[in-house]
Amino acid sequence: MTHIAERYLDLLGHDEAPRKAFLACSAAFRLDDDAARDAIALVARSNGSTESLLQRIKGLGCVSQRWDGSWYLTEEVRSYLADRLDIEVPPEVRHRLHEVFSSHAERRLATLAPDGAITVFHTRATRIESAYQKTLIPGREQEGGRELGETWLQARGSARDATAEAVTRIAEELTVRGSQLPDEVLFLRGMSAYRRGRRRQAEGDFRTVYERGRPGKIHAIAAHLFGTLVRDRREAKRALHRSLLWDPAPEGRAQTWHSLGNLVGGDSRNRLEAELAYRRSLELLHDPEDKAQVWHSLGNLLSEDRMRWLEAENAYRRSLELDPIFKGQGQVWHSLGNLLSKDRTRWPEAENAYRRSLELNTNFKSQGQVHASWADALMKVGGPPAFEQAEKLALKARTLDPRNPTTCGVANRVLADIYEARGQIEDAIAALEALQETDRQLDNRKHHDRIQTRIQELRQRAHAKA
């Protein structure tokens, strides 16, 4: 089937000039009349007929006029034509074309009044356009990449994610053109994948940037994120240390120290190193919310050492004081509940902590986790008299977050114990089989044999009973 862009080319007739003019306009994501005129004059050599060619192209149905006077070709048409541009237009003309669009974008930037959210948005979009054009000019690819990286760094909140998404789109284009992707483009593609939960893809991009590494913010963040994604702990640690060396900003280094603490703290032999990492992070941080997260992590680390439970509790409480976000506080109350539940004398306080966590954590996933932890703790503390409440909590946990293998694993274990103790053999077997499934999802083979043996024993008991 004929591509829609080919149909538009046919519609423009067999003359070279309109065809070339149309191709020229495909080199930019966003056009204004002045930029389009220069582009058409350059590529179509339209001396004298530029205006009529411009009007013809703007009159096509694949052109969308924006409210601010700028316009663009719809993406399916633009990307097809951009490929044709590569084939039909000599490289030196193409490179000058990208220079034209880049300089027009820079001029547009200079005219944007520094006022309001609309300027922030338009500045971002225009910078992306300008930088994209540069990535297509031999010798200026790195400059373009750097500008894309800076645009991302200057964006706030969801605009950062949106910038990473935009650059991912550009990366697709550059890949098709066979260009080597600048580090910043790779990094932002990785960021976009990371945000979308595509960890392996993100890891690949961050690794490349990290391995090409040099001091600077983007490379530091790439090394940091690579360190948090890669499974090999030694490699991860090396990447995190490299990030600490490259990152010029104390806040960035603080976050890396935090991640380093999380990494090494997983091994009980490195608790001291982890604690030092957390404390280093706390020294560098100023933002209370960030600090609250590190205190929370430190609390989790300390709670694993029976002798330092009091310090752990203090760390959690410090976190609660600092964290302005309910969701964050809800997680800390959850951790505090787990800590307090280890001391039978403080069980009422632990239950209060779980309740507080449920009040603050409004999403089902977090609530499911708290219900599972509460049920688990209740089994340990309360024994048979608490079975009924623990069962309710465990069932609720499964209902709230049925796809989370960790939450469901804890709930299934609790339910299996309760049903076995009550003599509900079939229910116990079902719970253990569900537990096996969640372990399989978590790739946890540690308890597989033990669970299997338990299931067999239960089946034998059921058989004997029958």
Partner 1 sequence: MNRGFLYQKLREDASELADNLDRIWEEALAIWREPRLLSMTQHGRPHLEQVEKNLDHLSQPLYQQGFPLSSAEIYVLLAACYLHDIGMQLDVPHAREQHAQYSYELILYSEDAAGRKLNVKLPIQDDNAREAIAEVARAHWASFATKLPERRFLYGNEEGRMRLLGGLLSMADLLDFSPVRARYYRTPHRLQELPTNSDLHQMKHRLIRGFRITSPMPQVPSDLQVQIEWRDDSEQVQMISDWVLHETSNYWRQIQPLLYSSSAGRLRWAAPWAQASFFTPQGPLRPLSREAYELLQAYRQEQQRIDRDEFCRAFSEALGEGRRALFLVPNDAGGDGLKLSSWCRTHASARKDMRVANLDIRRVDAPDASGLLAELLEQWGQHLPDVLEFKAFEFLRQELMAPGKGGAVAVILAEEYSPRLLDSLVGELFARPAEEQTPRVCVLFSPGAKGPADIKGVDIHRPLWPEISQSDLEAHLRESWGYNQDEAARQAEDILPLRQSPGFLYDYVESRCKAWRNEPPAASAYEP
Residue ranges that bind partner 1, judged by CB under 8 A: 4, 7-8, 11, 29-30, 48-49, 51-52, 55, 58, 60-62, 64-68, 72, 74-76, 115-122, 124-125, 128-129, 132, 151, 155-159, 161-163, 165-166, 168-170
Work out the angle between the directed axes of helices 326-340 and 347-360 (0-180°, nearest 10): 160
Task: Write down the least CB distance from residue 178 to partner 1, Å.
Answer: 20
Closer of 48 and 139 to partner 1 (Cβ)? 48
Pick between residue 363 and residue 460 the one whose CB is nearest to partner 1: 363
Helix (H, G, I), strand (E, B) or coil at 413: helix
3 state SS of 66: coil
Cα–Cα dist 280/293, whole Å: 14
Name the minimum Å distance from CB 48 to partner 1.
Answer: 6
CB of 120 to partner 1, least distance (A): 5
Structural contact between residues 432 and 414, judged by C-beta atoms closer than 8 angstroms: no
Residue 135's closest CA among 100, 170, 164, 107?
A: 170
Q: Which of helix, strand or coil describes residue 65?
A: strand
Determine the Cα–Cα distance for residues 377 and 282; give it in Å rounded to an integer.
31
The secondary structure of residue 231, as a DSSP letter, is S
CB-nearer residue toward partner 1: 363 or 456 = 363
**Smallest distance from partner 1 to CB 182, Å:** 17
Residue 105 C-beta: closest distance to partner 1, Å: 12
Contact 361, 370 (CB under 8 A): yes
User: Minimum Å distance from CB 32 to partner 1?
Assistant: 13
- Distance (Å) of CA 147 to CA 95, 131, 191, 279, 381: 18, 6, 16, 35, 58
Report the C-alpha gap between 351 and 377 in whole angstroms.
Answer: 9
Nearer to partner 1, 98 or 124 (CB): 124
Please state, in angstroms and rounded to a whole number, the distance separating the CA atoms of residues 197 and 222: 16
Cβ distance to partner 1 smaller for residue 221 or 358:
221
Structure tokens, 348: 């009422």
* CB of 46 or CB of 256, closer to partner 1: 46
Closest to 24 in 3D by CA, of 81, 75, 80, 63: 81
CB of 11 to partner 1, least distance (A): 6
C-beta of 288: minimal distance to partner 1 in Å? 17
Is residue 247 a contact partner of residue 273, using CB atoms and an 8 Å limit?
A: no
- For partner 1, give the closer residue by CB, 133 or 436: 133
Nearer to partner 1, 66 or 392 (CB): 66
- Using the minimum distance from each CB to partner 1, give the nearer residue, 120 or 462: 120
Q: Report how far Cα 242 is from the mean position of its chain's Cα atoms.
A: 21
* In the complex, minimum distance from the CB of residue 64 to partner 1, in angstroms, rounded to a whole number: 5
- Nearest-angstrom CA–CA distance, 239 and 227: 5
| CA–CA gap between residue 138 and residue 124 (Å, rounded) | 23
Nearest-angstrom CA–CA distance, 179 and 3: 25
Token representation of residue 233: 């702990």
Q: Which is nearer to partner 1, 61 or 402 (CB)?
A: 61
Output 52 or 460, the one with its CB closest to partner 1: 52
* Residue environment code for 357-391, b if the CB has 16+ CB neighbours within 10 A, otherwise e: bbebbeeeebbbbbbbbbbbbbbebeeeebbeebb
| Smallest gap from residue 9 Cβ to partner 1 (A) | 11
- Nearer to partner 1 among residue 141 and residue 313 (C-beta): 141
Instruction: Tell me how far apart the alpha carbons of residues 228 and 225 are, in angstroms, rounded to a whole number.
Output: 5
Rounded least distance, CB 101 to partner 1, Å:
13
Structure tokens given for 69: 């006077």
Nearest distance from residue 76's CB to partner 1, in Å?
A: 4
* Integer Cα distance of 192 and 160 in angstroms: 10
